[in-house]
Structure 1
Amino acid sequence: MADTGASDGTSDRVWFISHAGADRAWAEWVGWQLLDAGHQVELDYWDWGTGDNFVLKMNDALERGRLLALFSPAYFEPERFTTPEWTAVVAMREKITPVRIDRVDPPAILRPLLSRDLFGLSPAEARRVLLEAVDGPSRPDTEPPFPGTHGMLRQVGASSPRLPGSLPRVQNLPARNAAFTGRDSLLVHLRQALASDQRVAVQALHGRGGVGKTQLAIEYAYRFAGEYELVWWIAAEDPALIPDQLAVLAARINAAPAGTAPAEAVELLLGELGTMSRWLLVFDNAEDPTALAPFLPGGTGHVLITSRNPHWRTYAAPLNVDTLARTESIALLRAQGAVLSDEDADHLAHTLDDLPLALTQAAALLTRMSPADLTAELARSMHEVLTDGCPDDYPVSLAAQVRLTSSRLEADHPGAAAVLAALALLAPEPFPLTACAGRLPDQTSTVLSEALVSRLRAGSVVDAIARHSLARTQNGTVQLHRLTQAVLADQLTPAQHEQAQRGAEALLTAAAPKNASEPVGWPVWQVLLPHLLAVDPASLTTTDGRRALRGACWYLMDRGQPRPARDRLQRLYDTLLQQLGPDHDDTQNAATDLARAYDDTQDHERARALDEDTLQRRRRLHGDDHSGTLASADSLAIRLRSLGRYEEALALREEALAGWRRVLSVDHPESLRAASNLAVDLGGVGRLGEAVVLGEETLAGLRRVLGEDHPDTLRTAYNLAIRLGDVGRVGEAVVLGEETLEVRRRVLGEDHPGTLSTANNLAVHLRDVGRVEEARVLGEETLERRRRVLGEDHPETRRTAAWLEALREQQEGLEAEK
């Protein structure tokens, strides 16, 4: 591009200011100085609107003007848009005018460029150096104008910002955190939100303890201090102490004489601030929006609030401060010189939930122990680790902060504190708290049952927990953070731990659906599953609590995951044998579910022995027609069939079906389930015609009583399709198989073992009706899924592989005959 600079030092070229987002304050200061000197400037914050195409705007600016680059460490981070900016100019062999705003070594290709330093200078000297970099050095040939009468921004009433980093005369900021890491995008967003509003701008930074709200506010105040004439920090945790702090500010700016009563001084200060601009007030740790409201001034200044309470919309724009990005977490762990491998750093950051305070404490501990030792200590007692290593610039450790906040919650809302203690013993996943409202068992503690007596009361519990930022809350669910959970659990006394355990069992009992086999309840089971699996089965003390755990295990088995279900059912059964004995109903129910888990994991003989023992005990205790006895007979028949003892299974099944129909009715779901299983057993002994007739009758009944999508309906349809093929009605078998596969894919998922069995049998029937290519494709897809879900050596996987091999050999034989 041609240089068209005018002799008077101004220029008709446009200077595109290239900078990192973290350096916005410098960019605005540089832009103001250039405009004031008569240059044309393009700065993204000033000239580009919301929704503009950033890349196109950048390309247009580079084509129309010259690039003024603000070199800093952030400028050369690879992921920033500054990289394509300077590389594009280098590629076009155009000139870059660089100035350094911090100590940095640019990439090798840029090192030959002469750059000027703006940092470390007075504002006047920095302006002179900047303009020399843009215009080149020159002597004035006319008398310099009288200060204050020249400059286009001054002509419209603007005052020059000070050099970024220089503090205003009136300020009381806490010390800056030299190890502050990351948060660039959040700082830029905060600056844009405050600077874009012409009226008084109020932003409320909210988030849980230890997330770095106060540190972010301090960094913002220092990074953008040059934009303000006064910055005042107010400790706002106790609203009663705010007037005295504002009275000091009033005296400092002569808004009120020293010694004025605080209430009067505050009134005079707020009036004065209403007439001023370029001021920043920071209210740190304000928890009650209503209590803070009288101290929020009008005017065109800025107010920044830090709070655990997210409910600020009436008075401020809430801005959630979440945990750090993983790269920022790793940088913070290494900030004090610790030598960490990427793998160790990533693992520690994950364990500490990317929480700045926890990471800062860990970084301090890494100066005296190895990453392996710290990892081991975290696994042993996270609470103890989070109590140690409190950094100097934080008032308390994370553990102390959680204890303090939970104590406040208990004082404000005992019921919410009881809920929190119970959730501390469950999983760090969302818990559907409002779903428990009005459903807690009778033995629940008074404080917990009263807190959740209705959805309205449960909502107030959720709100109280949210106000103290001890958990994430959304749509009636509460999710404890892992670190908070660890601290809360570790600080419980033995008596409190036992009470919390009872509370956790009551919550699980209230939230659990009644029947694990009903698809309508599956979404709830999916949410509850991590919590029920986090509970030690030996800690459950009620029949309802044990039923909830058994329901979760049944849900797992229905979803094709029998191994984790077997582990927990085994633990539950062993505990109940010892605590209640083999004849207790809870023990026998656990035995029945455990037998299914054995069978689903191919331990058929062990499953048979357990079911046989349960059936004998129930016959002795309750008689032949008791529902538990009939259920045990059904269950044992399934185990006998798995062992190939078809005649014994059939005899037991016929006896059970007669009992169900006698005790209940022909169309009762239990009777229909027994009939469905009997149809399978009839086919197993070669009575195929009877199997088909009973299967058709039962399928029609299940569709009518339970619906098309119920697992029992789908299981019956799957078995009937097999028998239809066995009796030569292959076309009907294909139609029923396709219908069943479609529904099972939708209800159970592509990888569920029941879905894969349906696909496997459909492939066989497709081959039998001559649709060989479709059969091969479906068979290969099923084999791949079975290998992934069940394993290479599972009997079903081997059976599919053998069938596919036979199909290939058959096709190759047919090809050879041609």
Structure 2
Amino acid sequence: MVAQREPARGSAPGGESEHFVVVFPGYHRAWGNWIAHRLESHGHRTTLQRWDPDREQPLEEALGDLQLASGRVLLVLSDVFLQLGPRTEADWNAVLRGYVAEHADRFAAVNLTNRELLPATAVLEPVALWGIGEEEAERRLLNRLGLRPRRVPVPQPGYTSRYPNDPPDVWGEVPRRNARFTGRDLILNELQERLMDAEHGAAVCTLVGTAGIGKTQIAAEYAHRFGPDYDVVWWVNCDQRNTQRDTFGQLAVELGLDRAGEVGERVRAVREALRRNEPSGRWLLIFDGWEEPEDAATYLPHGGSGHVLITSRNKSWRTTTEIKQISAFKRAESTGYLMRRAPHITAEQADQVAGEFQDLPLQLAQAAAWLGEEGMEVPEYLRMVRGVGLTRLESGTMPDDYPYSSLTSWSMLLNKLRKSEPRTVDLLSLCAVFAPGRIPLGLVRGIPSSELPENLRWLVTDRSGWARALDSLVNYSVLTREARNPSAGDTEQSDSVHMHQVVHSVISELTQGRNSDTFREVVHRLLVEADPGTPRDSRQWGLYAELMPHLLASGAPASKERRVQEMLLNCLRYCYASGEYSLGAEMADAIRADWETFMGGEDQQMLVLTSLQGNLLRAGGHFRNAQALDSARLERLRAVPQPGGVHEEAVMDATSCLAADLRLLGQYDEALQLQEQVVEVSRRLYGPEEWTSLLAQHNLAVGLRLLGRYDEAYETDLDTLRKREQVLRARHPDTLASGNACARDLRLMGRYQEALARQELSIRLHVQVLGAQHPQTLLARHNLMLCQRRAGTPRQDIATAMALLFDQQEQVHNRTHFTTLSLMTDYGNFLREHGDLTLARELLTEAEDGFRALLGPAHPVPTAMQSNMGLILAAEGERDGALNMFEQALAGLTSLLGPDHPATLGCALNTSGGRHLGEALEDAFELSTDTLKRCRRVLGEDHPLTLSCMVANAIDLRALRRRDEARAVESEALERLTRSLGAQHQQTLSARQRTRPYWDYEPYLG
């Protein structure tokens, strides 16, 4: 069945208007809305139509129904669209090659996926909108439809959607979108209509239904599907009351409210801000699993123009909100879901399974796993569930200015407590093992009593004793308790206390030696329990940040307990993932100092420590220290070969680390050879889509990029990005890193607009996922500015952003860190290009000296930096000095990288210009001719560097009075520049003015 059409929208300026039927699956409603708004803003009329034909209706007939309206049909394509029904590939191929091909003039399409579509979809000539920014997407859409853009688009009234690729300004921890979400379109559409049409301040709807009916999935899909309608989307898990309060209160930080207050104050501040529509009235709150309507007044804004969606099993929500009863799937939804998950079953078999489980989504998900992932046949499966019952779900002490009497006072208190409340002293002794500050003391209550020393088991078994001891310490001002309002049964584990540093020093002194080993072991066990086990997940970084201060304070590195050692390694992994390189390197040193006293160099834990320590040193700019560590490890492993996969994995990891060191130290060929070995071994051991294999492939692309093999690097990075999007998630830091890499490749390939479109989309996700000050975010912003500069963004926009980024980069790292030196260089190049020679010289000199100190003189980066200094000298009129710099850089790079490396070719372009300025015209022509030939072969005819070489060669020909030849070369260059970069691009304009082009070196270490 074809869904009911929505009325045609938009007005027409006379006969220039066209009508379009925008056809989309419910999954992509946001895209349908955006496309319609964009077309209407350019004076066209649209009809939005969600399309989900019944399997029984022939595809040709369903597509024919779409043509009953006037105008063209625009299909919003993705793999989801091609599964509607569901349909087989043969069904779609037949109708695309037949009916659609016959009516090709009535159909057009956009493609929203990075995965391969059916080959027959080529008849639709779908234009790709995946992974690009809004401006570029609109340009491609209009171009595909052959429409002229209005010079000033007409603003569209009403509650318009933002660009679907552009995430809301604030996005809470909404569950990952379920790519297998099926049906529920009517429910989702009704929800949106209810919320949109509700009176001001009353847009609250509760999804009510039994457990497992799919309420959370519907709410999550609503957030993803209609997210572009909002500026703030915040998800609150209500399983526990304290979790609900904390998560809701965290929104205060995202909204820029006071984050230092008590959690209740933050909750009130958030509620009041949303009620006043600050910072925006387009907000969506989702409370998942909220079972206590009596708490509604605490959280619901009761005002404002935003929306609230609640999921609950409690029907009494109807007294305070609208409710929507969620029932089982409709049978067509059940069978469609089963057949998509298990393509080998028939419609009749899917119907049998759906009937067996009464269309309950949770049970159908289990059935689909058996049938799809396990490949089980339906008769066998039904026999099992009917016979065995698989339908169940399985699955110095005091500061100098303190009087000595203070120490006496604390000593007296301890003596009193030892006599009257010995258990309180036990608890205090336990606190003394932690670092001062916030202590997650309550987590000890989660340790099984059997794993505690007998004299401390009361900490777990005696709740009243625990409460009395803690209250006593608070009453005596030894501790302060962090404000909490936890739910029943979770009080003690949620207890978090704060001990001032001075108090901690005194108590540590006074309790020293009292069963210290025993208390340390308890704290180590607590830290193990507190380890989330997912150090690369940015959502857990707050927890790891809380653990870090207590590692050394508790003496954890001295523990011989395997679980404690793994917890320490996870903390180092967190340091690397979150950009805390210096802290991590210091911690790794401390751990190694202890482990070397009882652990051999070939022990698995020590090998992992060495790998992590090398990563932290490398990321912190200590390349040679990292190389020494990694080389020694690899030599040791190769010297003692062992059978079995564990040893091979260790060798592979050591090889990968050494390859990374060599890349940074400029030994690109050797590094690539090692990395190719790593890729081959990782794919053989783990498969091509496992996390380790994808990291190896990502690093392979880095090696290719450093060697100037940009096309190969891009293909590798693009493949890695696609796989990471599927295996990890779109918001995973590794996926974001792949997006950065693709944009960098595109820029180096000269595809500036594509690079800019991709990088613009990436920035906001970086800020949301990693934070504005994370090293990876800073690198992404740096890359964005380079893309903007090459694409022709106005000068002042780049100047302001680059100055701000430079300040932030220096705060996060320092002026001598290699990423700061890279940004310093690019900032200096930008300033030179725009006339600020004094500051440009200062920055480029400092950067060159910094790279030389870091890498040594015989490295491609400091060698190429000489060419940048040559451009400064040339701009200052120092022709001889400039030429000397150019020649040195060219000779050095030719020796280090070879004559065909893009960096060498760029330096050759500058050198030919230096010779021309020095009136060595024949030498300049000879070099520009040779450089042009090499650029064509290495980079292609239309690469910007190739075209710059053509312009330079024409200038040399004209200087030699070979005017006809010069005119021919210049004409071809201008034609290619106009076609590839545009007539108004600065490089095109400069070529038309016969300004000799130059090339500035952008340092990149990988």
The TM-score normalised by the length of structure 1 is 0.48
Q: Flag the structure with larger Rg.
A: 1
